[in-house]
Amino acid sequence: MKRFSERVALVTGAGSGIGQATAVRLSREGADLVLVDQSEAGLAETQGMLAEDSRVMSRVMDVSDEVQVKKLIRDTIKAFDRIDVLCNNAGIAGHHPPITEQDEGEWQRILDVNLIGPMLFIKHVAPHMQSRRQGAIVNTASVAGIRSGAGGNAYSASKAGVINLTMTAACDLGGDNIRVNAVCPGLVETGMTQPVFNYARTHEKAHKLGSRCELRRYGAPEEIAAAILFLASDDASYITGQALPVDGGNTASLNLPGMKV
């Protein structure tokens, strides 16, 4: 099924993890792609996984730099003449010190990438969608933006901001037939979360990974990508302003340490 034939999709954070899985799925479902990441090697790896008939443009850049964002969007319109789908996936986790030991500079960098970045892409992509009166935007938030315990303070605050940005942008753009939604992944093994998985495996705690989810397991990037593609597709044509947890049931119940084994 090629739900994205003759459509152009822009994916940030496309060099690994959820962004990479999303780009691969979009490609296999017919989309032409604009891929963004800070890792040139990651982008090259992703491109090697795409369908052979996909048209692809890639860019190594900082998603929080408005000058770079504006140039990318200009170049995209010049190359493809349109943007149908925007997937704001780029993100960083930072460290997890207690609130009394947190660094303002790290907070600012996390907010810049995780929250300001999606805002900038929406700001500069939306006018092109408005001119065609159609488009779908999917932001990658996190269960950390819904409840505590899934990330550090700065990361959690940034993802809560992404959820609220999703709702407010949906209200701003709905009259132009542009849908804005978010996915909220639970624990998924990606480059960003790899230290968690490495620690668990090194300390013989691998069996606990995902144990606090109702499905008793952690997720795969491809499972999050499937939800992103659903929200970006016409199958979700009457859905906007929503934040969809894709978390194995993590946010479905009271989830305290020791409650699940």
Give 132-141 pLDDT, tens digit per residue.
999 999 999 9
Residues 87 and 22: beta-carbon distance below 8 Å: yes
Instruction: Quote the pTM value.
Output: 0.92
Q: Residue 187's pLDDT band (boundaries 50, 70, 90)?
A: confident
Residue 155 known to be catalytic: yes
Residue 172 pLDDT greater than 80, yes or no: yes
Q: Choose the catalytic residue: 155, 199, 218, 238.
A: 155
What's the gap between Cα 113 and its chain centre?
Answer: 11
Domain boundaries, the chain: 8-190+220-245
CB-based contacts of 199: which residues, under 8 Å, 6+ apart? Answer: 205
Q: Mean pLDDT score of the chain, rounded to an integer? A: 92
Q: In which region does residue 153 sit, left (phi positive, over 0), alpha (psi from -120 to 50) or beta (all else)?
A: alpha
CA atoms of 139 and 259, how far apart (whole Å): 31
Q: Residue 256's pLDDT band (boundaries 50, 70, 90)?
A: low
For the chain, the maximum distance between any two Cα atoms, rounded to a whole number of angstroms, is 55
CATH code linked to domain 8-190+220-245:
3.40.50.720
Residue 42 pLDDT greater than 90, yes or no: yes
Residues 260 and 216: beta-carbon distance below 8 Å: yes
- Region 40-54: mean pLDDT is 96
Other C-beta atoms within 10 Å of 1: how many? 9
Q: Residue 22's pLDDT band (boundaries 50, 70, 90)?
A: very high
Among 131-145, 189-203, 204-218, the range scoring the smallest mean pLDDT is 189-203
